[in-house]
Amino acid sequence: MKKHAAPLGGIRREFSAVILSGLALLTGTTGCALFTHPPIDPEIQKASDEFVRALYTIRQQGIGNHDYKELTQRAIHGMMTSLDPHSDYMEPEAFNKEMESISGQFGGIGIAIQLNSEKKVEVHDVYEDSPAAQAGLQPGDLIIKVDGTDIEPDGLEQSAKLLHGNPDTSVKIVFTRKGEEKPLETTVLRKLVEPGYVTVKTIDTPQGKIGYIGLPTYNSELIAAQMSKAIEHLENDPSGAPFAYIVNERDNLGGLLDQAAKVLALFIDPPEKKLESITLVSVEKQGEKTVYVATHETDTDGTPLADKVGQDDADGSTVYFFPAKDLIKGKPLVVLANGYSASASEIFAGTLQDLRRAAIIGTRTYGKGSVQSIIRLSNSPGSGALRLTTALYKTNSGLTPQGNGISPDIKVIEPKELDSQSDPKEMSHSNMLRPAENEVRPAEVKDQKVCETKPEALSKAGESFRAKVTDRKENKKYEIVDPFIACAVDFLTRTETLTTTKPFSAPTP
C-alpha cells in the first residue's frame, strides 16, 4: 500500500478520526476473506476435542442417521446466531448466491418475477435489451412450466433456480398471458444479465420538475455506477434538468459498505476547496481503522487521490479515496427513509444529515450500526462461510446509529391505514451490540419538524400531495398519493426551501 504524505491534511483533525474500513459488508460484506489457520492453542485444541466427542456420540447413540457434515453445519449455525442478530453461518449454496448477488451479474434471461395475489409466479419486469425482451416475454405473463417442470403454487424460488443457468444455455418457458386462450411457449438463450436496481422518475410541480431516484439496495457492486447514470440522465434531460432531487431509501436494508460511500461521493463536493476532503464513514475493528473519504486532493506526484488507497500518517488508518462530484450541482436534496432503512442506507442518510447536505424525511431508521465480514472457511467448492460481525461504523459526525437509528429532520405522520414501521427494530434485540453512550447518535434530532398527511389532505389532491409522475421506462404519467413523497414535494416546493437551502454547509476549518 502506498503511503501518502498527510493525505487527510484538508480534513479537520476531529473528522479524520472518523474514517472507515474498506471491503466489508453491512448486511453482508464488500468482499470475501479466506479463513486463516490459528496458531497452536491448547484452548482451541481442548474445545475442538470436546466438539468431536459430541459429534461422535450423536452419530453413534442418537436416534436417526445423522451426517457429520450436516451436524457440523448446524452446530456452527447455532454458535454464530448466538453471538448477535446479524452473525450467521452460510451453507455453500447460500454463499454462492451471496457472491452472485454482490457481483451484480448472473446467467439468466433478464426478468424480475414475483408472486401475484393468487400465489402464481408472475413476470414483474423485463429488463431492456435482455434475452427475455427479445423472446417477447412481457410484464404480467404467468410462468407455468420451465424446462418441462411444472411450477408449483408459491414457486418463486423454484422458478428462479430453473431460470438461472450458465450463459449460452437455453431454457424453455411455458406461460399464460391475459387475452390469450392457450398457453404460450418460448425458448430463451441465457446471457450474463445485469439487473437494473436503480429506478428513475420525474415529478412535475408548479415550481418545476423534481428528480426521483429509487435506491432499493446497496448489495451489488453495480449500485454506484447505476446511480451515477441515473443522475446524469436526469441532469441531461432535453426537457430540462430537475431543480431538486428525492432519493428514496425506504425498505433498503443495506448492502456493500464501499457502494454506500461511492454513492455518497456523488452528492458531495467540498465547498470552495476550503475542505479538500470530507469523511464519509469510518470503521474500527481489532484496533485497525479504515476510512472512506470524498476528495479533491492530489497525491505527492500531483495526480488526483480519487480511487486510490492511502495511509494516514497521523493515526495509521487505511484511507479509501473517492472523487467528490456532487453530480446534482448543489441542488436541494431529500432522502426518504423508514424503519426498514438499515445499515448502508443509514450511512448514506446519516452522513448527508451530518453535513447538512440533505433533509431526511420519513420515520426513524432501523438502527443497525454494525459491519459484517464474510469469511469463507476453505477454498473447497463445498465450503461454507461465516457472516461475522466484526465492527461498528460511524457516520461523518463520529457517531453510530447502532440502536437509535437515524432520526429524520421531518417526521412523517401517516394515516393509520398506511402506517409503516417507524421504530428501529434493532432496539428489540436483547443481545444487541451496545457501543459507548457517547458514540451513539441521539434518538431525536434537534428542532424536528412534523409532516402530518391526513387522509382528507391526501384525498383533496392538492398540488403538494398529489403530483404528476413521469416514469421514464414506461414513458407514461400517473398520479401518486404517497405520504412520504407528498411531504418531500411539499418541502421542496416551498419558497423558503429554494431560497435558504445552500449547496453545502460543512463546518469550516
Q: Return the active site residues.
A: 343, 354, 368
Single-letter amino acid, residue 1: M
133's CB contacts (< 8 A; 6+ apart) are: 110, 126, 127
Look at residues 423, 419, 483 and name the one whose alpha carbon lies nearest to residue 451: 483
Single-letter amino acid, residue 333: L
Q: Please check whether residue 326 is in contact with residue 266, taking contact to mean a CB–CB distance below 8 angstroms.
A: yes
Q: Please check whether residue 210 is in contact with residue 178, taking contact to mean a CB–CB distance below 8 angstroms.
A: no
Which string of DSSP letters, residue by residue, matches 220-279? STTHHHHHHHHHHHHHT-TT---SEEEEE-TT---BBHHHHHHHHHTT---GGGSSSEEE
Provide the β-strand partners of residue 143.
175
| Residue 87 backbone dihedrals phi, psi, to 5 degrees | -85, 145
Distance CA 341, CA 348 (A): 10
Long-range CB contacts (within 8 A, 24+) of 350-354: 350/395, 350/396, 350/397, 350/401, 350/406, 350/441, 351/264, 351/280, 351/281, 351/395, 351/396, 352/264, 352/267, 353/395, 353/406, 353/409, 353/445, 354/395, 354/396, 354/397
CA angle (270, 272, 273) in 5-degree steps: 60
Q: How far is CA 170 from CA 108, 150, 187, 196, in A?
A: 10, 17, 7, 22
Q: Please check whether residue 183 is in contact with residue 175, taking contact to mean a CB–CB distance below 8 angstroms.
A: yes
Length of the chain: 509
Distance CA 373, CA 87 (A): 9
The torsion angle over the Cα atoms of residues 454, 455, 461 and 464, rounded to 10 degrees, is 20
Q: Please check whether residue 203 is in contact with residue 245, taking contact to mean a CB–CB distance below 8 angstroms.
A: no
3-state secondary structure of 53: helix
Distance CA 93, CA 481 (A): 41
Q: How far is CA 105 from CA 129, 166, 218, 263, in A?
A: 15, 11, 14, 19
Q: Please check whether residue 488 is in contact with residue 205, taking contact to mean a CB–CB distance below 8 angstroms.
A: no
* Cell numbers for 215: 435506491
Distance CA 305, CA 350 (A): 25
Q: Beta strand pairing status for 410-413 and 111-115?
A: unpaired
